[in-house]
Amino acid sequence: MSTVSMAFSQLPLISPLQDNLHSLEYTTMTPVQALTLPVILAGKDVIAKAKTGSGKTAAFGLGILSAIKVDNYAVQSLVICPTRELAEQVAIELRRLARLMNNVKILTLCGGTPIAHQINSLEHGAHIIVGTPGRLLDHLQKNTLDLSELRLLVLDEADRMLDMGFEDDIVSIIKQAPAQRQTLLFSATYPDGIQKISNKIQQQAEFLAVDEVN
């Protein structure tokens, strides 16, 4: 794709998202957003590679928020992150993007927080979960997290998660989700392991990379 700038207004986003992007002064999409959002909104699986700070969170975040049915208090989207700090940053950005949507519930599930508190929050329902592999597996083993209505799954910082040895955990988590779903894989780099895990968890994924010009 060329570097012609693309406005968010060209995307088929619901007005609470368009209006909010306007108030956040997000007018032009970053290259990774322009490259991936049309494909994500079309429901396809994507491997996206773009460097840190390029706006990957809003790329998958707008995809998630477009797919959520707020009337259904079930977990419909899951974002898996390598660390608690990154999961919290993703949740903050999702809440910022969702500001004008009514009653979107976003919950973080990471280690370092008492699991009982999380179980209590889960009982009140959530649409979107952002978590780290270990704690997500704990909840799945305790049957306190139900992924049976999951429709959109995101691996954020996939390269880091592979480096940290989370591949088996991630595959175990995904086994509990419906096979019929959209899966997005975001990464700053593209080591061999990315294609390998993509083959396990995605279907006909489109590889979209932002070229780095030095």
* Chain contacts with ligand ADP (rule: CB under 6 A): 26, 29-30, 33, 50, 52-58
Q: How far is the CB of 189 from Mg ion (least distance, A)?
A: 13
Q: How far is the CB of 7 from ligand ADP (least distance, A)?
A: 10
Is 181 a binding residue for Mg ion by CB under 5 A? The answer is no
**Exactly one of 20, 47, 50, 56 binds Mg ion (CB under 5 A); which one?**
56
Q: What are the DSSP calls for 96-163, one per residue?
A: HHTTTSTT--EEEE-TTS-HHHHHHHHHT--SEEEE-HHHHHHHHHTT----TT--EEEESSHHHHHH
Residue nearest to Mg ion (CB): 56
Is 49 a binding residue for Mg ion by CB under 5 A? The answer is no
29 binds, among ligand ADP, Mg ion, none (CB under 5 to 8 A by kind): ligand ADP
61-to-127, 162, 188 alpha-carbon distances in Å: 13, 22, 17
58 binds, among Mg ion, ligand ADP, none (CB under 5 to 8 A by kind): ligand ADP
* DSSP reduced 3-state for 75: coil
Q: Which is nearer to Mg ion, 79 or 139 (CB)?
A: 79
55 binds, among Mg ion, ligand ADP, none (CB under 5 to 8 A by kind): ligand ADP
Distance CA 67, CA 163 (A): 30
Distance CA 38, CA 47 (A): 13
Q: How far is the CB of 160 from ligand ADP (least distance, A)?
A: 11
CB atoms within 10 A of CB 26: 18
165 binds, among Mg ion, ligand ADP, none (CB under 5 to 8 A by kind): none
Residue in 29, 70, 44, 79 with CA at minimum distance from that of residue 208? 44
Give 213's DSSP letter.
Answer: P
Q: Which is nearer to ligand ADP, 75 or 158 (CB)?
A: 158
Enumerate binding residues for Mg ion (CB under 5 A): 56
